[in-house]
Amino acid sequence: MQNLLKTDEETMLTDSARGFLDQAAPVSEFRKLRDSGTSYDPALWRQMAELGWAGILVPEANGGADMGHAAAGLLAGEMGKTLVASPFLSTAVMAATALRQVSGSRAGEALTAIAKGELTYALAIDESAKHDPVKARLAAHKVGNGYQLNGEKTFVVDGGFADRVLVLARTGEGETALTLFDLPADHDGIARTSKAMVDARDAAQLSFENVAATGEDILGTLDDAMTVLGPALQAGQAALAAEMAGLATGAFDMTVGYLKERQQFGVTIGAFQALQHRAAHLWSEIEVTASAITHAGRMLDQDPDNATLAVSLAKARATQTAKLAVIEGVQMHGGIGMTDAFDMGFYMKRARVAAEWLGDYSYHAEQVAQCRGF
């Protein structure tokens, strides 16, 4: 029977992650990055790799910790609480999951490098303002013994700095004739333009002009991208949902702390029932979402072929809960919540980016609809 409580091992992982991040990456560190125009801290990522986080989903044979998706979600949640910016989701969760779906020494070497924190990846999937992988139109035409890629990718998270990029391309006429290419990001013909994202993290526009690829560059098999990409996206969606749930908790803790200290009308504002009930409702929503997050991690670990409902449920709930937490966070802080000097705005902006990345509420609600007979 699936159990939704943390195991002792998971509690230890969470506690040690919190301890490390409180010291190495509090929100003030993120503020420094933002102020300096840097999207992440490579030194911090090396430390995370030393702790085994970069290899959390890498097999032990490749030097990874191989702890599974529930554990990856716990780490993502702790990072979310203090807005830690890192290549964790794109590289350690999604690229590692994609690479694990294939055999061969090339994938094995990439996994080893990921676990060491020496290789970063970005996923180039989206082509319009809404996530919808099966609609990808970037073309990979057969030319001689290889392929030539032409088209545009948008919202490529970590695309500005990643060493390599997984590119979803159309290789045939059929709806599902999609292929995943694994290319160096500085490959001839790929132009990267970093976007000024509201959350101050990395995302790029990638243009492909006559980019030459070979059959060796295909991750998985021709015209069958989803066998490799599907599990990677689900892993990313579950971990991103966990990050958002952590973000909601971080914003909520700040807010309740403020309700206990701010004085108005001669009393602590947390004594007002109007605010108490808003806070209690928000806590309830966070608790309910936490169950969906754990469930998604358990399903990915135990029954990945049937995890679609669990993953989309988690992302849908986390999107709504994070949104509520940051809106209430600003409202209950009052004017100070609107200032740049205060951290709540960072939570709000990250929640909005995370809401769109890897499928928004509507996208995941539609997945739930398919699974539940709507």
Q: Is 31 exposed, middle or buried (0-12, 13-18, 19+ CB in 10 A)?
A: middle
**For tokens 């989903």, what's the residue?**
57
Which backbone phi and psi does 241 adopt, to 5 degrees?
-60, -40
CB of 180 to other proteins, least distance (A): 30
User: Side chain identity at 238, as an amino acid letter?
Assistant: A
CB 191 within 8 A of CB 29: no
If the CB atoms of residues 175 and 372 are measured against other proteins, the closer one turns out to be 372
If the CB atoms of residues 106 and 262 are measured against other proteins, the closer one turns out to be 262
If the CB atoms of residues 145 and 265 are measured against other proteins, the closer one turns out to be 265
Distance CA(169)–CA(324), nearest Å, equals 36
If the CB atoms of residues 338 and 369 are measured against other proteins, the closer one turns out to be 369
CB of 328 to other proteins, least distance (A): 13
CB of 299 to other proteins, least distance (A): 11
User: Side chain identity at 167, as an amino acid letter?
Assistant: V
Q: 256 to each of 31, 209, 271, 282, 328, how far by Cα in Å?
A: 22, 52, 11, 10, 11
Beta-ladder partners of 147: 142, 213
If the CB atoms of residues 2 and 176 are measured against other proteins, the closer one turns out to be 2
If the CB atoms of residues 138 and 245 are measured against other proteins, the closer one turns out to be 245
List for the chain the helix, strand, coil content (%; round to 5): 55, 15, 30
Largest interatomic CA distance in the chain = 79
Q: Which string of b and e fits 260-273 if b means at least 16 CB within 10 Å? A: eebeeeeeebbeee
Pairing of strands 263-264, 267-268: antiparallel
If the CB atoms of residues 95 and 314 are measured against other proteins, the closer one turns out to be 314
If the CB atoms of residues 6 and 195 are measured against other proteins, the closer one turns out to be 6
CB 234 within 8 A of CB 242: no
CB of 363 to other proteins, least distance (A): 12
CB of 77 to other proteins, least distance (A): 15
Residues of the shown chain interacting with other proteins in the complex, contacts defined by CB under 8 A? 1, 3-5, 256, 259-260, 268, 270-271, 273, 276-277, 279-281, 283-284, 287-292, 294-295, 309, 313, 316-317, 365, 368-369, 372-374
CB of 296 to other proteins, least distance (A): 10
Q: 229 to each of 91, 119, 234, 314, how far by Cα in Å?
A: 13, 19, 9, 19
CB of 13 to other proteins, least distance (A): 18
CB of 283 to other proteins, least distance (A): 6
If the CB atoms of residues 212 and 365 are measured against other proteins, the closer one turns out to be 365
CB of 320 to other proteins, least distance (A): 8
Distance CA(40)–CA(310), nearest Å, equals 30
